[in-house]
Structure formats: structure tokens, C-alpha cells
Structure 1
Amino acid sequence: MKRRNFIQKTVLSASALTMGSALANINGRSTPLAPHKFNLKYAPHLGMFKNHAGDDPIDQLNFMAEQGFSAFEDNGMMGRDVALQTKMGETLAKHGMTMGVFVVDKGGNMANTLAAGKKEHVDIFLDGCRRAVEVAKRVNAKWMTVVPGGYERRLPVGVQDANVIEALKRGAEIFEPHGLVMVLEPLSDSPDLYLQNSDQTYMICKGVDSPSCKILYDIYHLQKTEGHLIHNMGLTWDEIAYIQIGDNPGRKEPTTGEINYKNVFKWIHEKGFDGVLGMEHGNSKPEKAGEQAVIDSYKKVDDFL
């Protein structure tokens, strides 16, 4: 090679590296030139990457998209300003991201229990369902989380089951014309909660018998209450429409606890699941290092093919 040509190629290569480095550090943070390609639709939530992206929700959504996350969930979406809801919906659409769950506002997980069969409780729930339809339109959502409430200890369990099924049937009637789905979430937070196990939730969905009433299988909660994750997911699979993630103990990102998430995600992928897996957990470490650890953990457990 002639000396002049060698020098020209060296200069061009150095320039290309410099430009790539500049593009990878826009806005003072390291950004991959191409988003990572995940096998499943993992959905972060607001605050998970605020040390990298800042406090603005739109900036946080942009950062999630830059990292390759193709979905997003926001439990508190119903409480946000209409203008922000609209802007968040537009941002998700721009990135081709799927909107995951938000919680139907009925006053809290333990409040206004549907198991009691009281008209005033059901009315509050149905009002939340109607308002949720309008929110879903703004953010292009399909799934909304519903927690039926606490046990009504003065009633037989069978009567409570019937009360919950009847209330959810009325909620499904609101969602069905819009193609929306309420997903019932069994929780491990308190023995006073009515809905705690996957088989119980499966029975309730069969009783409601609607495409608008399905299961939210939260892996963290159900590892605590029943374990045997893949087996129980298989038993209830035809009613599962949404999945949430959190390792146990601690409810942090995968690889921080006892759950073999690589195997679980491989099984879910082999089932042909095309829905959202909500990252409903905290970060095990603080600040930017902790946020990067979350991203790295998902890359690790998603590497199952």
C-alpha cells in the first residue's frame, strides 16, 4: 500500500470512530447505536431509569426505547393529567412500544371489596372501569389490572366467589365493546386479600366467561404463595393474558433471587406468548450503576435461544 493511501485510510477510520463515540454519548449518557433486540416484550415503569433519563416521563420513555424495551407499564396512569396521558401515548406510538397495564381505580387493593356483594362497592368498581376506557384510548392500552379487594369474612367462600364473578361480569360488559381486557392479579401482600392463587383466579375467569376477564400472572407474588411456576402457568395458561416479573426474595430484577428466569422466559417464549411482561420490581442497586444492572440482567436472562 502506498504511504499516501495508508495515511488517508487511517484518518478516515479515526474520524469514523470519533463520530461513533460522539453519537454514543448524546445528552451526556452512553446510548447504543442500535437498540438491543429482546425476544420478549419486557415493560419497564417510570422511575426505573430516572438517573439516566431524568425526571421527565417522556425522556424516560425515550430512554427505554433506546435500550430496546418494546413495552411499558404504568400502574398509576389513571391518576395522571390528561395532557400527559396523551403525550405518553403519542411517544409510545412513535417508538412502536406496546402499552402494558395500568390499575383500574377502585380505591386501592383492599378497598371496596367485590366479595362483599355490596352495591356501593360494585358501583365504585364500575365507575373505575368506565373511566379506564377513556384512559386506554389516550395511551392505546389493552390491559387493565383489577384487584377484587379483601375477603368478606362474614360470608361463606362460595358466596364471595359468586359475588366477585357477578361484579366482574358487569365490568367485562363495559370493556368488551372496546376490545379491552381486565386482568385479575392474585397477590401475596396480605392474607386478608381475596385473590391469592392462580387456580382460584382461573376459576373466577371461567365463571365470568369473557374475553375481557383474564389472569395477570405475577411471577413474584405467585412464587411466594404457591411456587411450582411453570407447572401452574401451564395449568392456567389459556386464561393468562399478562405476566409480571420480580425476583424473590426482595422483588428486584431477575438474577438477584431464587427464580431461574432464563428457564421461565424460555418456556413462555416457546408457548408463543406475544403479550407484555411487566417489570414490576425495584432496582437492587442505586443510581446509574443499579439501572445498568437492571438492563444487563434482562439481556442475560433473555439470552435463551
Structure 2
Amino acid sequence: MERRKFLQQGTLAGIGSLAFGAATANSVTADSTLQEKGKPFNLDYAPHSGMFKNSAGESFLDQIRFMYDQGFRSLEDNGMMGRSKDEQEKVAQLMSKLGMRMGVFVIDAGDNWKVSLATGKQEFKDRFVEVCNKAVEVAKRVNAKWMTVVPGYFERNLPIGVQTGNVIDALRLGSDILAKHNLTMVLEPLSDNPDLFLRTADQTYMICRAVNSPACKILYDIYHMQRNTGQLIPNMDWCWSEIAYIQIGDNPGRKEPTSGEINYKNIFKYLHKKGFKGVLGMEHGNAKPGKEGEEALIKAYRESDNFL
């Protein structure tokens, strides 16, 4: 064989081999993606209504089916108490069929932030007891265990110790109701504005210890705690015995993991090592619009959940 022909044939063979190798690699990657798509995550992340509406449509039930198909095994719905009894029952039936858990819904006392338990006013305590009783019925209907509680605004004309005592008294009333049904209120310290009474995990820890009930624990929202205090993992460690529920959101922006400054892969690894078996609510928006943004959100969770 002439040397020129030999080199040409060798080059063509090499190119063919490279092309086959690339195609095989792409095929393996595609197969891995397909296998990963419906695989449950290492931790139990809970999306909410509307998060995947571009992919699943406007129907809440279809969105829940889509969540399950993507590997999510829990759901949270802050506005569950505002849904009709019929819709609540349909949601519960579908989730039971799929084997999904219900995360938090909000114990809604109207304008939660302004109905302040820090005031000590009887009208606010009465309203809180009333909605706790209603929340029990909703929780039974949708198989929920946790309900979010926000004590409301500061009462600026009272010393902080007196305000704290007022909040503890009110929460004891609610805890007495919920404990009978093995339900748990989770107190959420927030960063939305400086008028809110409950601000930090350690403050919430102190209140939970004072209430002294299995029905009163901490909702540790990582987004809010990053804004208010930082030191996310040390604060979780210090308050661990009182943390019953965790929510997610990157900062700045309150979007999915990888969109901001928080190292969520490291936090998820920490929670897995701690043996956390609870729900992690996806309490955030989507960093990008449309169906592409929803796909990017799922990918971000797959990347951040890959810590083993």
C-alpha cells in the first residue's frame, strides 16, 4: 500500500473512532440523565404550587404528578387552609396514592404579621386558638404534620422580655391543641422587615424551650437565616434539638440553590450526615422564567443533592 493511502485510511479510521466514542459518551450521558430524572433525591425536598406550571400546566394535581415524576416525594402548600375542602381531599388522595408527604401549610390568622402575639391582647390569643382548631381539621384532611406559625410584629411600647412572655403564653395555648393530635407548629424567624418579632434561630430556640412542648418547634429557613445572622451550620447545630422543619432559598434573590452565595451542597451534606429525615421546603422562586427555568431548577437540585 502506498504511504499516502495508508495515512489517509488511518486518519479516517481515527476520525471514525473518535466520532463513535463521542456518540457513545453522549449516549451514556443521556442514559444517566434519563435514569436520574425520576430517581428520588437523597433528601426530601418539597416543591410548591406554581413552581412547575409551565411544564405541568395550571392544574395543581397535574403539578403534583409532575413533581413525583421528577423524583420529589413531598409537597408544601402555605395556602392549604384557603383551599376548598373538596380540593384538599383531592390533593390528599393523590399524594397518598403516590406515596408523597405533606409539608407545612400556614396557620393563617388573617394578616399574620400584624396579628401580633407579642401584644398579649386577648383578642389575638382568642383568634390564634380559633385558627389552631381549624388547622387541626385541615391537617387531618391532608395528612399534614407541620404548620407554620409567625408570631407577628413587635409591640414597641412593651419591653422585649414582656413581649417574649406574651408570645410564650399564646404558643402554649396553641401547643395544647396541636399536641393532642400529634401535630407540630413550627415557628419561623423571618428577615422580611425589621418590625417582625421573631428574627433569629437562637431566639426561637429559647421560646421553644420555654413553651416546652413537642408541638412547638423551629422552622429553620436557610434564606432568612443567611440574611439575619449567617453562620448557617453552627446555628443549626446549636438549635438542632428544636428544629423540626427546614426551608430552602438562595441569597440574594430567594431562588433555587446555585443561584446565589449559599453553598447548598455542603449544607445538604451536613443535614444528611446529621440524619435529618424531615422535609426541606423549596420556599423560593425560579431564577429563570418559563419551562427552561423549571428544568434549570430541577438540575440545580440534582447537582446540589449529589453529595454522597
TM over 0.5: yes
Counterpart of 1:204 in structure 2 is 207
1:141 to 130, 141, 144: 144
SS at match of 2:180: helix
What is the rounded CA distance, in whole Å, between the counterparts of 2:93 and 2:152 in structure 1? Answer: 33
- The TM-score, its normalising length taken from structure 2, stands at 0.88
Note the alpha carbon deviations across 1:210-241, whole angstroms, 9 max, x for none.
Answer: 00000000000000000000000000000000
2:246 to 224, 243, 252: 243
Q: Kindly provide the amino acid, as one letter, of the partner of residue 280 in structure 1.
A: E
1:96 to 99, 119, 122: 99
1:117 aligns with 2:115: no
Note the alpha carbon deviations across 1:122-176, whole angstroms, 9 max, x for none.
Answer: 1111111000000001110000000000000000000000000000000000000
1:42 to 45, 70, 87: 45
Q: Kindly provide the amino acid, as one letter, of the partner of residue 174 in structure 1.
A: I
What is the rounded CA distance, in whole Å, between the counterparts of 2:95 and 2:252 in structure 1? Answer: 32
Note the alpha carbon deviations across 1:258-285, whole angstroms, 9 max, x for none.
Answer: 0000000000111100000000000000
**Percent identity of paired positions between Structure 1 and Structure 2:** 62
For the pair shown, which has the larger CA radius of gyration, 1 or 2? 2
Counterpart of 1:18 in structure 2 is none
- The alignment yields a C-alpha RMSD, in angstroms, of 1.4
Counterpart of 1:291 in structure 2 is 294
Q: Summarize the alignment of residues 125-274 of structure 1 with structure 2, pairs less than 5 Å apart.
A: 125-274=128-277
SS at match of 2:147: strand
Counterpart of 1:24 in structure 2 is none
* Unpaired stretches in structure 2, ≥5 consecutive residues: 1-32
What is the rounded CA distance, in whole Å, between the counterparts of 1:40 and 1:91 in structure 2? Answer: 21
SS at match of 2:254: coil
What is the rounded CA distance, in whole Å, between the counterparts of 2:129 and 2:60 in structure 1? Answer: 29
Note the alpha carbon deviations across 1:95-127, whole angstroms, 9 max, x for none.
Answer: 111100000011133121000000001111111
CA contact (8 A) 1:256 1:284 kept: yes
Q: Summarize the alignment of residues 62-81 of structure 1 with structure 2, pairs less than 5 Å apart.
A: 62-81=65-84
Q: Kindly provide the amino acid, as one letter, of the partner of residue 117 in structure 1.
A: G
Counterpart of 1:280 in structure 2 is 283
- The TM-score, its normalising length taken from structure 1, stands at 0.89
Q: Which runs of 4+ in 1 moved over 3 A?
A: 30-34
What is the rounded CA distance, in whole Å, between the counterparts of 1:94 and 1:41 in structure 2? Answer: 18
What is the rounded CA distance, in whole Å, between the counterparts of 2:272 and 2:79 in structure 1? Answer: 28
Note the alpha carbon deviations across 1:11-32, whole angstroms, 9 max, x for none.
Answer: xxxxxxxxxxxxxxxxxxx987
Q: Which has the larger displacement, 108-117 or 286-295?
A: 108-117
